[in-house]
Amino acid sequence: MLKHRRALPAALAAAALLALAPIGGLAQTALKFGHIVDTGHPIHLGATAMNEHVGKCTGGKVKIDIFPNSQLGNESALNDQIRLGGVDFANSGASFLSRNHPHLGISSLPYIFRDRDHAIAFVKSPVLRELMDGWEKATGQLLLSGYYSAAFHVFAQDPYPKPDDMKGKKIRVPDAPAWLVFYKAIGANPVPISLGDTYLALRQGVVDGTNMPLAVGFSTKLNEVTKVITMTYHQMEMAMLLTGAHVKSRLPADQWQCVVDGGKIYGEVAQREIIKGEDELRVDATRKSLIKFIDPDLAAYRKATASIIAEKVKAGEYPQSLVDRIQAVK
């Protein structure tokens, strides 16, 4: 596995040199879009819509090749490859990107949003764009769009109606510090595991449950290896469409504008499909008896984690003014 992972960046970098390919006698720029979910997920649907727009807008001079299911690496690897130029586009959560610009991770804090409507309003607010601009200045890379990507819950073998029920439980989380906060606050044991290894970890009992949005959970068939979803809504994640400055530099201005506009379409389609999925998945899964759902004591969960934001502000991780601006968004 380690040998394969070391070889991956070199292979991708070599592939990037072949991005200009003659198609039907015309020079066509082929750009790589890597993501970690399957072809039925809103991320893939958004990428497909982006490719269609870019193809039409550029008269076929630019196309986007989409690589789903972690073919080009997990989320961390994709982010690294954007920097190296081996991948041109990737979807990434704010929690991952906050490694390079910590303030961007504030949207990942437990219960910073009142509900989904609040999170969606945040997407349209100048606050998020300012945070994205800050990340761009810190990294030199570009964020073409930001969008509401999911509410997170807990897929597990047992229900967790109250925070105390999760104490000591091993819960899989993505490999990024922002994901540890909620579970540590309620006494659970967060275990970083990649998405691709989550199904096996649950089946083998390596972990008791996993932090997961509904769409990704069902698309990766986690209902086969878990029995219940505790609907905690503890995190409303923002996702970003990430690209490298190398893409902008290699395209003429008109083609780059097509990419920029396509990135906006990507975010709109992905968010629309995510919201639709969240509204339909529970009903459909219940009707088909795929898994059980439990509505926990959300007030108890909010109370158990209420000190997190204040502690982060006190520690100097986030300014109170930023917290206030987010919570004032309507």
Range with lowest mean pLDDT among 122-126, 129-133, 175-179: 175-179
Query: Please, what is the average pLDDT of the chain?
Result: 91
Question: Treating both helix axes as pointing N-terminal to C-terminal, what angle do 253-287 and 42-57 enclose, rounded to 10 degrees?
Answer: 150
What is the pairing mode between strands 20-23 and 209-213? Answer: unpaired
pLDDT at 5 over 80: no
Q: What is the mean pLDDT of residues 153-157?
A: 98
pLDDT at 107: 92
Q: What is the mean pLDDT of residues 93-99?
A: 87
pLDDT at 160: 98
Range with lowest mean pLDDT among 105-109, 114-118, 173-177, 224-228: 173-177
* pLDDT tens sequence across 209-257: 999 999 889 989 999 999 999 999 999 999 999 999 999 999 999 999 9
pLDDT classification of 26: cutoffs 50, 70, 90: low
Range with lowest mean pLDDT among 94-108, 244-258, 282-296: 94-108
pLDDT at 203: 97
- Sorted by where each starts, the structural domains of the chain and their CATH numbers stand as 2-328 (3.40.190.170)
pLDDT at 137 over 70: yes
Q: What is the mean pLDDT of residues 284-306?
A: 96
